[in-house]
Amino acid sequence: MEQVLLDLIVALRGSGVRISPSESMDAMRAAALLGYADRSVLQDSLSAALAKSRREKEILAACFDRFFSLDGFSDPETDSPVSSSVASDDLDSQLTQMLLSGDNAGLSISMRETGQKEKISEIYFFTQKSLYIQRILRGMGLEGLDRDISRLSKGDAPSSHQKAGKLKEMREFLFETVRDFVERQFSMFAASAREEIMEKYLRDMRLSNLEQQDFHRMHAIIKRMVKPLNDVHSRRRKRSKRGMLDLKKTLRENIAYQGFLFELRWKARKIDRPDLVVLCDVSRSVETVARFMLLFLYSLNEEVAKIRSFIFCSNMVEVSNLFDEYEVEEALIRLQKGVGLGINLGRTDYGQVFREFKENWLDTITNKTTVLILGDARNNYGAPETGILGLIHKRGKRVIWLNPESPPFWGTGDSEMKKYLPFCTIVRECSSVNHLERVIGSLLRTG
């Protein structure tokens, strides 16, 4: 039964329930303690061990019912031709004998055991359904049933023809039942594979090619990607509060206790949050990438990074207040509409943007500031103002430029990327969420 429970956990994960290895072990111990005899008790114990929200409990209940649902052999409401007045004999195969004797329990066990042997829980694609149907039928003994039907059809006695006709009818029912069983398994186990394939595809996909209908899915992917970064840096902060034992301070503090160490003193190492100033090009060619980079950055806990954000096209506007006043999702919607922000969505002018930044916000850059620029550096043949970028580079800790175009296109046409390269600490192609994850993860690790 342990394998059955593992298959159920796989099905639950495919249905959207997040289950850790420790929670799987808790479920195993609960099932071993309470047993499998009482269906409702088993479901309640698994719900307590695996589901962490009301929605997950609802998913678990629905998946549990589907997983342990009756099949066509054991369901009394199914119009089954299994069981017959026709008697079997010693020449009949085991499958033929079970069909003729009406051994529904034996047929059900044989189908499920064969499915488990053939690893039905690893069915991922709809094209595999016919393959698993044939494997399960063959494992149950379909070849022996076919031989019996052929032998009886060639017989001279009317009873042989009657028996062959009955077996043909039962063979059709057997096929339909196994097909329904495989369909149910596919609906439970293939969901996770489809989701994994879609997620991998979207993570590697160029964000500029992303369709509107996939935005919601991409938001969910980014939140899952951000969570480990938040967790890692949260643990790092907790360790920094404790630090290592400071032996000298500890001994001095405990002189009054004649050497007994009652008061411990720790070496505390301060870990600063990265101080980020983010400049995002929101022209049509880059707006989708900017949207998801801001989503990625602002999904980080406030304690992980301090962020001040600006958007630009023909001019530059600070939008930090949007993310202070609204949730990230709502702020992005307002940002996309651009109403009341004062942004001019005309021809991109990096030179004008840098001049405005120098005039209004250059004093925000300190030697602890990382300036993160997202843009394709296509300046419509205007003045690039590389000197201002050099000034920003000199005042700040570092300048990181993320370009959604591939390196072979840098410097072609109206691209000024090669002129900006000497004034950047790091320059990376950034056209997918995988690129974003690597760059921002590296940024947080280096502080």
- Torsion, CA 49, CA 50, CA 56, CA 57, rounded to 10: -40
Q: What is the value of pTM for the model shown?
A: 0.59
| CB proximity list for 1: less than 8 A, separation 6 or greater | 31, 36
Mean pLDDT by 10-residue block, N- to C-terminus, for the chain (447 residues)? Answer: 78 79 88 84 88 85 80 61 65 86 86 88 84 93 90 84 88 91 82 70 79 75 73 53 72 77 70 78 84 81 73 90 82 75 86 94 91 92 93 93 92 93 92 83 69
Residue 130 tokens read as 């016919």
Q: What is the largest CA-CA distance in the chain?
A: 110
**Residue recorded with tokens 């030697």:** 367
What is the predicted pLDDT for the residue at 371? 92
Q: Is the Cβ–Cβ distance between 268 and 408 less than 8 Å?
A: no
Report helix, strand or coil for 356.
helix
What is the predicted pLDDT for the residue at 240? 47
What is the predicted pLDDT for the residue at 72? 65
Alpha carbons 245 and 258: distance in angstroms, whole number:
19
Alpha carbons 37 and 39: distance in angstroms, whole number:
6
